[in-house]
Structure 1
Amino acid sequence: MATIKGTKKQARKRHRQSLERRMRNRSVRTRVRRQMRMMRIAMADGDAAKVKELLPETMSVIDIGWRKGVIHRNAAARYKARMARQANAIISGKEA
């Protein structure tokens, strides 16, 4: 990051910190999205064993996302409720 004449030291520090936070948040958000995508693929295939294996891991990753402030608490709850409902339908043998 090149220093610009007239910028305050604190402003440069805040900018640097925001870039660090952005990268941290980005990795968490990517992890959440990737896990949800894997879960959706397993549900679309109707693979009950894979769904049963992925469900707890997916719930955990979603919780990590909201604890780190990357996704809103209510959005996390909504994702988990929808996934659980669909997963339970597939596991019990009904199509969601």
Structure 2
Amino acid sequence: MANTAQARKRARQAVQQNLHNSSLRSRLRTAVKSVRKAIDAGDKAAAAAVFKDAQGTIDSIADKKIIHKNKAARHKARLSAAIKSMAAAA
């Protein structure tokens, strides 16, 4: 339990920050999932359009240091590769 006023305030702030960061991580997962769903549907143009929107979300969350920039790059690279491989499969 926090004993000082400063520690109590930091504990309150940590709760709020955790809720905010959780919602941002959820947005990231939703963006990645939407691209995966578009890829599974088989429409390359639609998948590319959804991916373009998701890139902005992924980058913005990485800029806020919710996830590491390398993890963001890895997500984008794998999604991009999956979209590019759709042409070879089709």
TM-score, normalising length: structure 2: 0.89
The code of the aligned residue for 1:59 comes to: Q
The code of the aligned residue for 1:10 comes to: Q
The code of the aligned residue for 2:22 comes to: R
Percent identical among aligned pairs is 33
The number of aligned residues is 90
Computing the radius of gyration from Cα coordinates, the structure with the larger value is 1
Partner of 1:28: 24
Deviation track 1:10-53 (CA, whole Å, cap 9, x = no partner) reads 11100011111111111110100001001001111211121021
Q: Which runs of 5+ in 2 are unaligned?
A: none
Partner of 1:51: 47
SS in 2 for 1:70: coil
Task: Report the structure, 1 or 2, having the larger helix content.
Answer: 2
Q: Which runs of 5+ in 1 are unaligned?
A: none
Correspondence 1:82 to 2:78? yes
Residue 64 of structure 1, CA deviation: 1.0
TM-score, normalising length: structure 1: 0.84
Partner of 2:88: 94
Distance 2:42 2:88 in 1: 10
The code of the aligned residue for 1:40 comes to: R
